[in-house]
Amino acid sequence: MGQSSLNTTRLHVRYSETDQMGTFYNSRVLEWFECGRTELMRQLGVSYRQMESRGAMLPMIESHVEYLGRAVYDDELELTTTVSMSGKARVRFEIQIVNITTDQPLARGYTVHAITAPDGRPIRPPQWVTDAINGP
């Protein structure tokens, strides 16, 4: 019981996300990872918007991406995102992206985030954040 800590969401590749190699530009994966994080946190009941409004920011401190396949404009992508605490003060998201249109893996990776006040100063993770991430 409790909310699932795994989120699946879909999006279409925008024309603005492609490049002249005829596939998506590499940095877009980090933007799509953001979509996965946003939807997972919303599902867990602690939307990132709400976190920021309560003074807890999650600036990225590390990212890792493996590029596994191609995608063109309008291909539909499925993002699968999970989250966990990494030590006592960091949050780690793992993400996989599959190109649904071609049925091929597109990318996988992870991002690690500090927990800070709006001024960038690290803070102790609020209980309501760790509870949501660790689950019931």
Which residues of the chain form contacts with its own copies (CB under 8 A)?
A: 12, 14-16, 18-23, 25-28, 30-31, 34-35, 38, 47-49, 52, 57, 59-67, 70, 72-74, 111, 120
- Nearer CB in complex with its own copies: 1/20: 20
Q: Least distance from C-beta 136 to its own copies, angstroms? A: 25
- Nearer CB in complex with its own copies: 35/89: 35
Farthest-apart Cα atoms in the chain, separation: 47
CB 115 within 8 A of CB 54: no
The residues that bridge with 124 in the sheet, in sequence order, are: none
Q: Least distance from C-beta 27 to its own copies, angstroms? A: 4
The residues, ordered by sequence, that sit 6+ positions from 98 with a Cβ below 8 Å of its Cβ are 77, 78, 80, 104, 105, 106
The residues that bridge with 93 in the sheet, in sequence order, are: 83, 111
As a whole number of angstroms, the distance between CA 27 and CA 43 comes to: 25
Q: What is the chain's alpha carbon radius of gyration, rounded to the nearest angstrom? A: 16
- Nearer CB in complex with its own copies: 120/136: 120
End-to-end, the C-alpha distance of the chain in Å comes to 8
- Nearer CB in complex with its own copies: 48/128: 48
- Nearer CB in complex with its own copies: 4/52: 52
